[in-house]
Amino acid sequence: MKEVPNILWLEEIRKEDISSVGGKGASLGEMASIGLPVPPAFVVTAQAFRRFLVETGLDQKIFKVSDNLDVEDNAALEKAADTIKALVIKSKMPSAIKDDIKASYKKMSQKDLIVAVRSSATAEDLPDASFAGQQDTYLNIKGEAALLTSVQNCWASLYGARAIYYRAKQGFEDSTVNIAVVVQQLVHSEKAGVMFTSHPISGEPITIIEGSWGLGEAVVSGSVSPDHYVFDQRTESIAETTIANKKVEIVPDGSHGTKLVAVDAARQDAQVLADAEVAKLAMYGKIAENHYGVPQDVEWGIVAGTIYILQSRPITTIGKKEATGMSGQNKDAKILLKGQGAAPGTATGKVVIIRDAKDTGAVKEGDILVTRMTNPDMVPAMRKVAAIVTDEGGMTCHAAIVSRELGTPAVVGTKTGTQQLKNGQLVTVDGELGLVYEGAVGGAAKAGSAAPVVVGSAPVITATSVKVNVSIPEAAARAAATGADGVGLLRIEHLILGLNKTPGWYISNHKEEEFVKELYDGIKIVLDAFPGKTVWVRTLDAPTDEFRNMAGGENEPLEHNPMLGWRGIRRDLQSPDQFRLQVEAFKRLWKAGYEHLGVMFPMVSHPDQFIKAKEMMRDWGVDVENVELGIMIEIPASAIMIEDFLQAGIKFASFGTNDLIQYTIAIDRNNENVADMYNPQHPAVLTLIHNSIQKCREYGVECSICGQAGSDPKMAVWLVEHGISSISANIDAIAKIREAVARTEKRIILEAARNRDAE
């Protein structure tokens, strides 16, 4: 058999070469072979790595460290991983390999070309090769010395603690696992992003492209809300273009790294891709899909008008109607904790226990954040982690809402998570089933990757509008990508809570203008993502305890039961200063042409409150008869008095079932001790809902739901059967709610037709 050289060029590689060039290398070679514009690259083969191990004697030394290692002993595992990595990094690379790498680098370009150096796991027979070898990547590498160091760092990354653990658990011999390294011209993309060559859920021939400024990492990591383009392969035309407000981009930094910087004002709202670029990208996507025979998830970049295809891999979500839970696969895995599955998806990572928001500095990318309950100052840390586990809370607590919007798997209400789990412990979180397993359990996403994003244009038209809930503006693009018919609830308190200063702080420090601007900018992001579709913005509704840790929080009253306390419209009516600032932001948005903004008042218990709020708005110059003002129905009183509200002129009503349930059956929505009694389908709750829907129908007023119950397909069926006009669900639930609504509507029509025929 011919000996595999130290280096293979992309043009020489085919997918059969995976054991020499790893998954990434093989895929790039394959793409180049079908004519996709792949940046030039060579691969330092797995055989080169093996020669390095043997010639330096490292194979023996590594064996000595890892032999008899108890991978369950976290400290020992970490120590062994560090020792082996240091050995690999410090050993001298054999000169034959070094010379080959240097010669190839020179061949790419006479000048010091800037390259990306990526590890490419070769364990083709492992169920998840990315687990077997860590996916270390070094961007922006320039010069021979830096290149050689990066190659060696990639080799060392094969011995990360998590990778060793995973291999041990899967029964793979560490001594036989190899790694290849891809060295590729770094495309300093001026714009970049991802593309799904077909709809990732339904598989329809609709290409979805997301793009933003700078390097593609900004889109892949979710640091930016990208522009969203939909190209219909059937009509070969662009079906949808949504321009996002792109605040940040990732650009090369110095000679080795990258950095996140602000996008200049001129480009923030500018369209990233020209129509011709969308069409060309979609065509490349089609080529890839036809070649591989399955829809692809493609990374692309554009420099000076030239498109580069950087990566292509099969989409794994198509046809998986079930959520991403690992049900059935883990009969042998040890369950450490049970709670409520609050945000779907699975992830494996190391536990980091946070007892105070001040400690969030310890949280690293890909960790599993374990805490009593998240609060707004933890949101930056929540963005980084692979999954979230809390002791307290239910499906509508802060952790649950924010995790769903970030697309991060979460289990809430485990009661003892912070006591039972240990810092550094490797666990797998199943955000669907509400389980936390010991160790790395097969089927889970690698740490750091979020639950699959459900994107796509609406495949089904329903008579009942299916809208989406948004709490953090950065989720607006994901929310819009669901094709929802509007926003049925924008909770602005999350926007304020993220600023870490109470509204009272802004007022007493004479920074009202700053507050209005923050509100204006945050709401505008969501309005921009839903052009022509109604966005119901809810006025502030944060219980006093949620404000406590923020600047100004010391002035918040201490309440025995903040849920029943000074929140929602009752607080705004008594604090005109705070209410006026919100109205000022709305007024400016209406003036700027955002006519699709409607305002919804929370925690309303008497029509007088609605009338008073409307009067105050009129006094502040709002043309109250010509804007949409509505109420949340979340207190039984408002359901019972719905007709009075209708006569008072509400333009819409929306069930806030999270609260309506707790106030109807006296079950604290955030108390895990009574979570099993929190019953959205309690007959009393259903009666209140049914009566209110009927009255709204009589008055021709839109009646909706934005509580968590609206994200349950069973409840959606019941609501459609009982005449609801719209349902607003969480981002992750839109597809299944739309399907449930469509089926129910069809069944109702069919039954009516059959009944007519039978008469």
Catalytic residues: 398, 706
Binding of residue 405 to ligand PEP (CB under 6 A): no
From the list ligand PEP, Mg ion, none, pick the one residue 489 interacts with, judged by a Cβ distance below 5 to 8 Å according to partner type: ligand PEP
- The residues near 357 (Cβ < 8 Å, ≥ 6 apart) are 375, 377, 378, 549
Binding of residue 659 to ligand PEP (CB under 6 A): yes
From the list ligand PEP, Mg ion, none, pick the one residue 8 interacts with, judged by a Cβ distance below 5 to 8 Å according to partner type: none
From the list ligand PEP, Mg ion, none, pick the one residue 707 interacts with, judged by a Cβ distance below 5 to 8 Å according to partner type: ligand PEP
The single residue listed with the structure tokens 């891999």 is: 313
Contact range with ligand PEP by CB under 6 A, out of 13-21, 142-150, 404-412, 653-661: 653-661
What single DSSP character describes residue 299?
A: E
Task: Determine contact, residues 705/727, Cβ cutoff 8 Å.
Answer: yes
Contact range with ligand PEP by CB under 6 A, out of 144-152, 285-293, 521-529, 657-665: 657-665
Q: CA–CA separation, 719 vs 755, rounded Å? A: 22
Query: Nearer to ligand PEP by C-beta: 518 or 659?
Result: 659
Query: Nearer to ligand PEP by C-beta: 439 or 562?
Result: 562
Within residues 378-397, the interface with ligand PEP by CB under 6 A covers 396
E strands, 304-450, in order: 306-314, 335-338, 340-343, 346-354, 368-371, 387-390, 410-412, 426-430, 435-438
Distances (CA, A) of 520 to 509, 523, 526, 594, 630: 19, 5, 10, 11, 20
The sign of the torsion formed by the CA atoms of 242, 248, 252, 256 equals negative
Which token pair is 357? 């928001």
Contact pick of 656, 693, 696, 725 for Mg ion (by CB under 5 A):
656
In the complex, least distance from residue 239 CB atom to ligand PEP, rounded to whole angstroms: 31
From the list ligand PEP, Mg ion, none, pick the one residue 367 interacts with, judged by a Cβ distance below 5 to 8 Å according to partner type: none
Query: Nearer to ligand PEP by C-beta: 30 or 541?
Result: 541
First to last CA, the chain: 80
Q: CA–CA separation, 741 vs 462, rounded Å? A: 7
Contact pick of 297, 634, 702, 712 for ligand PEP (by CB under 6 A):
634
Binding of residue 658 to ligand PEP (CB under 6 A): yes
Identify the three-state secondary structure at position 113.
Answer: coil
Contact pick of 46, 288, 385, 706 for ligand PEP (by CB under 6 A):
706
In the complex, least distance from residue 660 CB atom to ligand PEP, rounded to whole angstroms: 7
From the list ligand PEP, Mg ion, none, pick the one residue 491 interacts with, judged by a Cβ distance below 5 to 8 Å according to partner type: ligand PEP
Contact range with Mg ion by CB under 5 A, out of 143-151, 287-295, 503-511, 649-657: 649-657
Task: Determine contact, residues 249/214, Cβ cutoff 8 Å.
Answer: yes
Distances (CA, A) of 435 to 398, 402, 447, 671, 672: 19, 19, 16, 18, 15
From the list ligand PEP, Mg ion, none, pick the one residue 448 interacts with, judged by a Cβ distance below 5 to 8 Å according to partner type: none
Query: Nearer to ligand PEP by C-beta: 22 or 707?
Result: 707
Which of 220, 33, 15, 7 has its CA nearest to residue 122? Answer: 15
- The residues near 281 (Cβ < 8 Å, ≥ 6 apart) are 195, 207, 209, 231, 273, 300, 307
In the complex, least distance from residue 659 CB atom to Mg ion, rounded to whole angstroms: 4
From the list ligand PEP, Mg ion, none, pick the one residue 584 interacts with, judged by a Cβ distance below 5 to 8 Å according to partner type: none
In the complex, least distance from residue 645 CB atom to ligand PEP, rounded to whole angstroms: 17
Query: Nearer to ligand PEP by C-beta: 130 or 582?
Result: 582
Within residues 659-678, the interface with Mg ion by CB under 5 A covers 659
Contact range with ligand PEP by CB under 6 A, out of 235-243, 308-316, 586-594, 652-660: 652-660
Binding of residue 630 to ligand PEP (CB under 6 A): no
Distances (CA, A) of 161 to 77, 335, 427: 6, 22, 13
Binding of residue 491 to ligand PEP (CB under 6 A): yes
Query: Nearer to ligand PEP by C-beta: 498 or 656?
Result: 656
Q: CA–CA separation, 76 vs 68, rounded Å? A: 11
Torsions phi, psi of 256, nearest 5? -120, -30
Binding of residue 562 to Mg ion (CB under 5 A): no
Contact range with Mg ion by CB under 5 A, out of 155-163, 549-557, 650-658, 662-670: 650-658
Binding of residue 657 to ligand PEP (CB under 6 A): yes
What single DSSP character describes residue 233?
A: T
Contact range with Mg ion by CB under 5 A, out of 11-19, 546-554, 657-665, 689-697: 657-665
In the complex, least distance from residue 562 CB atom to ligand PEP, rounded to whole angstroms: 12
In the complex, least distance from residue 491 CB atom to Mg ion, rounded to whole angstroms: 9
Binding of residue 324 to ligand PEP (CB under 6 A): no
What single DSSP character describes residue 43?
A: E
Within residues 537-566, the interface with ligand PEP by CB under 6 A covers 541
Query: Nearer to Mg ion by C-beta: 518 or 634?
Result: 634
Q: CA–CA separation, 368 vs 629, rounded Å? A: 41
Contact range with Mg ion by CB under 5 A, out of 129-137, 205-213, 499-507, 652-660: 652-660
Query: Nearer to Mg ion by C-beta: 118 or 571?
Result: 571
Query: Nearer to Mg ion by C-beta: 668 or 745?
Result: 668
Task: Determine contact, residues 511/561, Cβ cutoff 8 Å.
Answer: no
One symbol per residue from 227 to 266: x for binding ligand PEP (CB under 6 A), - otherwise; what is it?
A: ----------------------------------------
In the complex, least distance from residue 505 CB atom to ligand PEP, rounded to whole angstroms: 22
CA 419 to chain centre: 28
In the complex, least distance from residue 614 CB atom to Mg ion, rounded to whole angstroms: 20
Q: CA–CA separation, 365 vs 608, rounded Å? A: 49
Binding of residue 634 to Mg ion (CB under 5 A): yes
Binding of residue 222 to ligand PEP (CB under 6 A): no
Binding of residue 656 to ligand PEP (CB under 6 A): yes
- The residues near 669 (Cβ < 8 Å, ≥ 6 apart) are 394, 396, 397, 563, 658, 659, 661, 662, 678
The sign of the torsion formed by the CA atoms of 431, 436, 442, 444 equals positive
From the list ligand PEP, Mg ion, none, pick the one residue 732 interacts with, judged by a Cβ distance below 5 to 8 Å according to partner type: none
The single residue listed with the structure tokens 């299916």 is: 466
Q: CA–CA separation, 396 vs 399, rounded Å? A: 8
What single DSSP character describes residue 138?
A: E
Contact pick of 194, 475, 489, 540 for ligand PEP (by CB under 6 A):
489
Which token pair is 750? 């069919």
Q: CA–CA separation, 716 vs 731, rounded Å? A: 15
Q: Which residues bind Mg ion (CB under 5 A)?
A: 634, 656, 659
Q: Which residues bind ligand PEP (CB under 6 A)?
A: 396, 489, 491, 541, 634, 656-659, 706-707
